[in-house]
Amino acid sequence: MATIKAVLRKKCNKDNTFPLALRITKNRKTSFIHLGYNLTPEQWDEAESRVKKNHPNATRLNNFITHILAEAGDHALELETKKKILTSRNIRDKVKDGSEGYSFFKLADAYARNLKSSGSFNRYSAEVPRINRFREFVKRDISFEEINVPLLKDFQAYLRGTRNITERTVVNHLIVLRTIFNQAINGHLVDAKYYPFGKRGIKIKFPDSAKIGFSQAEVTLFEDAKLPVGSAQDIARDMWLISFYFAGMRGSDVFRFRKSEIIDGRLYYAMGKNNKYDSVKIVPKAQAILDKYLYYNLPHDLVFPALQDVKNMDDTYEVQKRISEVRHNANKALKRLAQSLGITKSPTLHIARHSFGNIVGDKNIPPQLLQKLYRHTSITTTIGYQNNFKFKQTDDVLETVLNG
C-alpha cells in the first residue's frame, strides 16, 4: 500500500515559508501534490503532520489536510481494488483528475487566503481585486487549460475599455494570473504545455514610468518650513526628511523605525521589502529630527507615533494594514504642506526616495555604493533606477545643437 502524508517541502520561498504538500510514496518512489499554502516551520508540527494552533487558520487548514488525505487514500484503494498499476504518480494523477479543487478560481482563492494568513496585507489588498476583475470578465469558473493567449488579450482589452487605468495596472493584473499559473504548474496541477505566458505567449513587460524627485531647493523648503510642533504636517515632514536623509528609506520602514535600531550614531535595520540588512550613518540633520522624538516613550520602542496603536507588531497583516492607513494620512499632510510652500511636485513619502536619486543625479557616484545605500539586490536595478535622474549629458547635447 502507498504511504500518503502531508509535509512541508524543503525548498524555502523568498518570504522564508515552505510549501505545504501531499507526499505520496510507493515502492520507494515519491510524488508530491502542492496544496496551495505556505507555512513557516514554526507553524508546522512535523511529527503529527498538522498545522499548529499559532497559525491563524489552523483549524481550517487541518480540516483541508484531513479531507485531501482521505481523498488520496480512497483513490489509492480504488486503483488497488481494480488491480491497476499502483504508483505514486498514478495516485497523484488520480487525485488531481478526480478533484474539483483545481479550477483556476478555486486555486486563486486559496492563493488569496494564503496571502492573508501569511500577513501580506499589501499584496492581498492589491491582488484580490485583480483576481475579481478576471472573475468579472469570464463570468464563471474556468480551467487553467482555457486560459490562453486570445483570452488574455481579450482581458487586456476589457480592462482598458471598462476602466480608466494605466498600462502598468494592466500588467499588474497579468502578473497575478501568471503567479497563480506558475504555482499550479510547480504543484503539478497543470501541464506546462498550457502556459500562456513567456516566449510563445503573452510577454509581460513593465512600461516605463517617470520618476520625479524634489530638487535640492525644494528639499530646503521642506527643511526650513516653520510648523507647529507635533502637528500632522510637522510629523509627516519629519518622516519625509528622515527617509531622504537615509538615502530614500522606504516609508513603511520609517513608520516601523525603532529606537533600538540606533547604535553608536548609526541606523541598523533590515529593509522590509527584501529583508536586506545594513547600516547607515546618522547625519547631523537626521539626528536633529530624531532628537525631537527620542524623548517620548512610545509603545513598541517606536520613534514615530504612527503605529503606536498597533497591539501586536508581530502581526504582519495588521501592521501592513495600519501602515496603509497612516501612509495615506501622511501623504495628505505632505500635499497640504507642499501646496503652502508653492511646490507643485508630488510630495508623497516615496518621493523622498526619488528625491535622493534626483539630487545624486550626475555626481558620478559609483553604482556599487548607491546599490548599498538603496539596498537593491541587483546592481542592474540600481543602474536602471539611477538612469532616471541622469540629465546632464543629454542636456549638454541639446544645448550644443540648438546654440550652434
Q: Where are the alpha helices (DSSP H) in 246-350?
A: 251-255, 284-293, 316-341
Cα dihedral sign for 289, 290, 296, 298?
A: positive
* Domain-terminating residue out of 209, 238, 272: 209
Q: Identify whether 66 is part of a domain.
A: yes
User: Phi, psi at residue 279, to the nearest 5°?
Assistant: -135, 155
Report whether pLDDT(270) > 60. yes
Of the chain, the end-to-end C-alpha distance in Å amounts to: 87
Strand order in the sheet with 266-270: 262-263, 266-270, 277-281
Q: Identify whether 88 is part of a domain.
A: yes
Same domain assignment for residues 76 and 110 = no
CA distance 255 to 304: 6
Same domain assignment for residues 336 and 281 = yes
For the CA atoms of 332, 335, 339, 345, the dihedral, rounded to the nearest 10 degrees, stands at -160
Burial degree of 388 (CB within 10 A; 0-12, 13-18, 19+)? middle
* Domain-terminating residue out of 209, 225, 242: 209
115-167: pLDDT as tens digits: 888 888 889 999 999 999 999 999 988 888 889 999 999 999 999 998 898 99
CA distance 35 to 54: 20
pTM: 0.66
Q: Identify whether 395 is part of a domain.
A: no
Same domain assignment for residues 220 and 342 = yes
Report whether pLDDT(274) > 70. no
Q: Identify whether 384 is part of a domain.
A: no
For residue 273, name the pLDDT band (cuts at 50, 70, 90). Answer: low
Domain count, the chain: 3
Q: Residue type at 170?
A: V
For the CA atoms of 381, 383, 386, 388, the dihedral, rounded to the nearest 10 degrees, stands at -90
Domain of residue 10, residue span: 1-99
Same domain assignment for residues 197 and 271 = no
Q: Identify whether 400 is part of a domain.
A: no
Q: Identify whether 376 is part of a domain.
A: no
* Domain-terminating residue out of 52, 73, 99: 99
Q: Residue type at 281?
A: K
177-214: pLDDT as tens digits: 999 999 888 877 788 888 999 888 999 888 777 778 88
Same domain assignment for residues 356 and 220 = yes
108 and 35 Cβ atoms separated by less than 8 Å: no
Domain CATH code at residue 116: 1.10.150.130
Q: Classify residue 250 as left (phi > 0), alpha (psi -120 to 50) or beta.
A: beta
Considering 58-67, 136-145, 376-385, the range whose residues carry the highest mean pLDDT is 136-145
Domain CATH code at residue 279: 1.10.443.10
Q: Classify residue 93 as left (phi > 0), alpha (psi -120 to 50) or beta.
A: alpha
User: Phi, psi at residue 394, to the nearest 5°?
Assistant: -70, -35
* Mean pLDDT to the nearest integer, 275-284: 84
Report whether pLDDT(60) > 90. no
Same domain assignment for residues 92 and 141 = no
Same domain assignment for residues 196 and 242 = no
Q: Identify whether 146 is part of a domain.
A: yes
195 and 201 Cβ atoms separated by less than 8 Å: yes
Q: Which three cell numbers stand for residue 99?
A: 478533484
Same domain assignment for residues 355 and 272 = yes
Same domain assignment for residues 150 and 78 = no
Cα dihedral sign for 317, 323, 328, 329?
A: positive
Same domain assignment for residues 95 and 165 = no
Same domain assignment for residues 195 and 126 = yes
Please tell me which residue, 66 or 300, carries the higher pLDDT value: 300
Same domain assignment for residues 157 and 251 = no
Report whether pLDDT(338) > 90. yes
CA distance 271 to 196: 34
Counted residue by residue, the chain has a size of 404
